[in-house]
Amino acid sequence: MGHFGKTRISVDELYHGIINHDRLMLSKAITLIESRRKDDITRGAELLDKIISHSGKSIRLGITGVPGVGKSSFIESFGSQLTQKGHRLAILSIDPSSSKSGGSILGDKTRMEQLSHDPNAYIRPSPAGQTLGGVNNKTRETILLCEAAGFDIIIVETVGVGQSETAVKDMVDCFLLLMLSGGGDELQGIKRGIMEMADIIAINKSDGDNVGASKQTKKILENAVHLFPPHEINWVVPVSLCSALTKHGITEIWDDINRFIALSQSENFFKHNRQIQNAHWYRQLVDEEIKHTYFDEEKRARYRQIEAKIIANEMGVRNGLRKLFES
Ligand code: GDP
């Protein structure tokens, strides 16, 4: 078995490796779907079609929160409990900073020391890509590959700074928001929109001297969630306290997740939601492809010329649109 890109591994070999839970093959398959080389794109599509009937049988869980809230510590404690129960857990970390700076807030494997040595856990940073659609597409495909490789819980982790949450919300079954105690008024810089996406809220670091403040924040948040638009299912977003450090409250969050999944299955939302997500996914890719194929160098230059005129108030937007498409 040669290195990827030198001796090519066939799509068939990757497929059989994945469905036989071979982690090395899974990693190589993810590298394949992340590749932008033309023939890799074709092979990736072929592989995804082969594995699709093996995918879908997992709980897809989104986890977000501001840097420092304790996401990796939480996933470490939470995830270890799950693997001890016999679950197989894949953790995909989306790092919005990675494509720009080369450095990263997330995505460092050593962040989850214990899980990174756990044979039932698989950790993979997901590159943010150049567009939001990029995040969306590669991560979604990675979810499918991990499911086909037998992982029954997929965690998609993202930094809660408001860039990729919407994309993640649109690829998971349940969205968990981690928060901290204090800062009730401005809600800790977490945008209201992100709070409204949450199916479950947990206040982490509710240990030691923090417990009192956490209980207060819990009350504030419980009031806040009642003012949010109603959930698609008959669900009131629970706010609970936890500590990734002492592991207090972690089991209860897993119980909340299971209650949520059970309810969304019984109300037929679970399947419906995934169908809508697939439709969104497809539409997004089609939109991107249209933009990509239509906007060649010349069109892009023309776009910028017209844009400059619009900015300078020398041309109306409507006329700009007409001019752009008339050529
Ligand atoms: P992330 O940036 O959201 O992934 O946050 P980390 O998991 O890296 O945690 C940030 C810091 O908070 C680290 O120093 C952790 O040790 C600490 N931390 C995380 N969870 C807890 C917790 O439940 N209680 C306390 N006291 N500290 C925590």
Ligand 1 binding residues, C-beta < 6 A: 65, 67-73, 204-205, 207, 243-245
- What is the rounded average pLDDT for all residues in the chain? 88
The rounded distance, in Å, linking the Cα atoms of 12 and 110 is 32
Q: How far is CA 59 from the centre of its chain?
A: 13
Going from the Cα of 73 to the center of ligand 1, the distance in angstroms, rounded, reads 6
- Ligand 1 center–CA 143 separation, angstroms: 26
* 59-65 vs 153-159, strand pairing mode: parallel
Q: Residue 160: what pLDDT? A: 67
Residue 25 pLDDT level (bands cut at 50, 70, 90)? very high
Which pLDDT belongs to residue 96? 63
pTM: 0.88
What is the tens place of the pLDDT at every residue in 281-296? Answer: 999 889 888 888 888 8
* pLDDT value of position 102: 43
pLDDT at residue 243 is higher than 90: yes
pLDDT tens for 63-101 read: 999 888 999 999 999 999 999 999 999 999 886 655 444
Which residue's alpha carbon is at the smallest distance from atom 6 of ligand 1?
A: 70
**SS3 for 91?**
strand
Q: Which atom of ligand 1 is nearest to the CA of 69?
A: 3
**Rounded to an integer, what distance in angstroms lies between the CA atom of residue 189 and that of residue 206?**
19
Burial class (CB in 10 A: 0-12, 13-18, 19+), 86: exposed
Q: Which of 52-56, 229-233, 262-266 has the lowest average pLDDT?
A: 229-233
* Ligand 1 nearest atom to the CA of residue 105, by list position: 2
At 274 the pLDDT is: 97
Mean pLDDT value of segment 230-252:
95
* CA-67 nearest atom, ligand 1: 2
Residue 183 in this model has a pLDDT that exceeds 80: no
